[in-house]
C-alpha cells in the first residue's frame, strides 16, 4: 500500500511566484504522516493560460528544479513537481514536468507532447515534446503526461504497452470543460486497467476559471481517498491492479492488426 497526496493549488491572478511557492511549501509541510508520493498541478508557477509563459522560462538546472529537488529531499518523499516552462539549450521552450525521488534526484522529465490552443497560446509559444515516458515509482511502472494529453488515448495505450500500471497527470484544466476531465480520467483508468493520479488547479489563469476535480482512481475508475483541505490523500494498492490484469486480461484481446480498412 502506498499513500499518495494530490496538492490542488488555488491560483490567484493577483499573486506572484513568491506567494505560490509559499502556498506549495505550506501544503507540503502539512502533508499527513506516511505520505510517500505527492503530485502538484501543471504550470502552477505561472498559470496554464498565462500570456507570460516564455517570460517565466528557466533552464532545466534553474531555481525551479533546485527548489523542488530540495523539497523532495527535505520531506523524504517522491515528488512530481507539476510542470514549468523549460528553456532548452537550443532555445526551444517546452511544458516540462519533473519527478524527484526521496533523495532529491531527478529520476524523470516529460515534455508535454500535445500542446493546447489550436495554434494560439501554449500551442503557439511552446514546442511539443516527442518522447513517451514511463518510469519506475512506488506505484510500479508509471507513465507521465500533462493535461491536454488526456484527450489522446493512444498515448496512454502506448504507456500501457511499455508496462505502465499507473498514470500521473498534472493539469490546468478549465471549469468550462471539467465534465470532460472527469469522464476522460475514468476512461483512461478503465480501458488501461491502470491507477490514475490527476492533479488540477483551482482559481484562475489569465481570466480562465480552473476546475479542480483532482482525483485518484483505481483500475476500475473508482475514486479513492479523502480530502484534507486542498489535499487529496489516498492509499493505493498497486498489487490489486496487477491482480486485476491477471484475472481479467482484456489487453491481450486487442485485434487492431487484424482489422481491415
pLDDT of residue 44 exceeding 90, the answer is yes
Q: From 34, 9, 3, select the one nearest 23 (Cα to Cα).
A: 9
Q: Is 112 a catalytic residue?
A: yes
- Selecting among 42, 86, 122, 165, the annotated active-site residue is 42
Q: Give residue 132's pLDDT.
A: 98
Specify the pLDDT at position 255: 84
> Is 2-248 a domain of CATH 3.40.50.10540?
no
Which of 8, 86, 122, 147 is labelled catalytic? 147
Which pLDDT does position 15 carry in this prediction? 81
Q: Tell me: the pLDDT tens digits for 206-241?
A: 999 999 999 999 999 999 999 999 999 999 999 999
Q: Is the pLDDT of residue 257 over 90?
A: no
Q: In this model, does residue 145 exceed pLDDT 80? A: yes
Percentage of residues of the chain with pLDDT beyond 90: 92
pLDDT at residue number 259:
62
Domain limits of the chain? 2-248
Task: Show the cell assigned to 172.
Answer: 490546468
178 phi, psi to nearest 5 deg: -70, -25
* Beta bridge mates, 227: 232
Rounded to the nearest 5°, which phi and psi values hold at 182?
A: -60, -45
Mean per-residue pLDDT of the chain: 96
256 has pLDDT over 90: no
**Options 86, 112, 122, 166, the catalytic residue:** 112
How many Å apart are CA 39 and CA 198, to the nearest integer?
Answer: 8
pLDDT at 258 over 70: no
Give the global pTM: 0.96
Element (H, E) at 179: helix 178-192
- Catalytic residue status for 147: yes
Instruction: Return the bridge partners of 176, or none.
Output: none
| Residue 42: active-site member | yes
- Which secondary-structure segment (H or E) carries 57? none
Q: Where are the beta strands (DSSP E) in 101-146?
A: 106-111, 133-137, 140-144
pLDDT in tens, 1-39: 999 999 999 998 768 889 999 999 999 999 999 999 999
Amino acid at each position: 500500500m502506498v499513500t499518495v497526496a494530490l496538492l490542488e493549488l488555488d491560483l490567484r491572478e493577483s499573486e506572484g511566484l513568491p506567494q505560490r511557492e509559499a502556498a506549495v511549501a505550506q501544503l507540503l509541510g502539512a502533508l499527513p504522516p506516511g505520505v510517500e508520493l505527492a503530485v502538484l498541478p501543471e504550470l502552477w508557477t505561472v498559470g496554464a493560460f498565462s500570456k507570460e509563459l516564455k517570460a517565466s522560462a528557466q533552464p532545466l538546472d534553474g531555481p525551479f528544479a533546485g527548489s523542488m529537488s530540495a523539497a523532495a529531499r527535505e520531506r523524504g518523499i517522491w515528488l512530481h513537481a507539476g510542470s514549468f516552462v523549460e528553456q532548452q539549450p537550443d532555445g526551444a521552450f517546452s511544458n516540462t514536468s519533473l519527478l524527484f525521488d526521496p533523495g532529491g534526484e531527478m529520476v524523470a522529465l516529460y515534455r508535454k507532447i500535445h500542446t493546447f490552443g489550436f495554434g494560439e497560446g501554449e500551442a503557439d509559444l511552446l514546442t511539443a515534446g516527442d518522447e513517451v515516458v514511463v518510469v519506475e515509482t512506488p506505484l510500479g511502472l508509471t507513465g507521465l503526461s500533462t493535461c491536454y494529453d488526456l484527450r489522446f488515448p493512444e498515448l496512454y495505450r502506448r504507456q500501457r504497452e511499455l508496462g505502465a500500471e499507473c498514470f500521473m497527470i498534472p493539469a490546468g484544466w478549465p471549469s468550462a470543460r471539467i465534465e470532460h476531465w472527469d469522464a476522460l480520467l475514468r476512461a483512461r483508468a478503465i480501458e488501461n486497467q491502470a491507477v490514475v493520479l490527476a492533479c488540477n488547479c483551482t482559481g484562475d489563469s489569465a481570466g480562465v476559471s480552473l476546475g479542480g476535480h483532482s482525483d485518484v482512481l483505481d483500475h476500475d475508475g473508482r475514486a479513492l481517498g479523502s480530502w484534507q483541505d486542498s489535499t487529496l490523500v489516498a492509499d493505493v494498492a498497486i498489487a490489486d491492479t496487477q491482480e486485476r490484469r491477471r484475472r481479467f486480461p482484456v489487453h491481450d484481446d486487442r485485434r487492431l492488426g487484424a482489422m481491415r480498412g
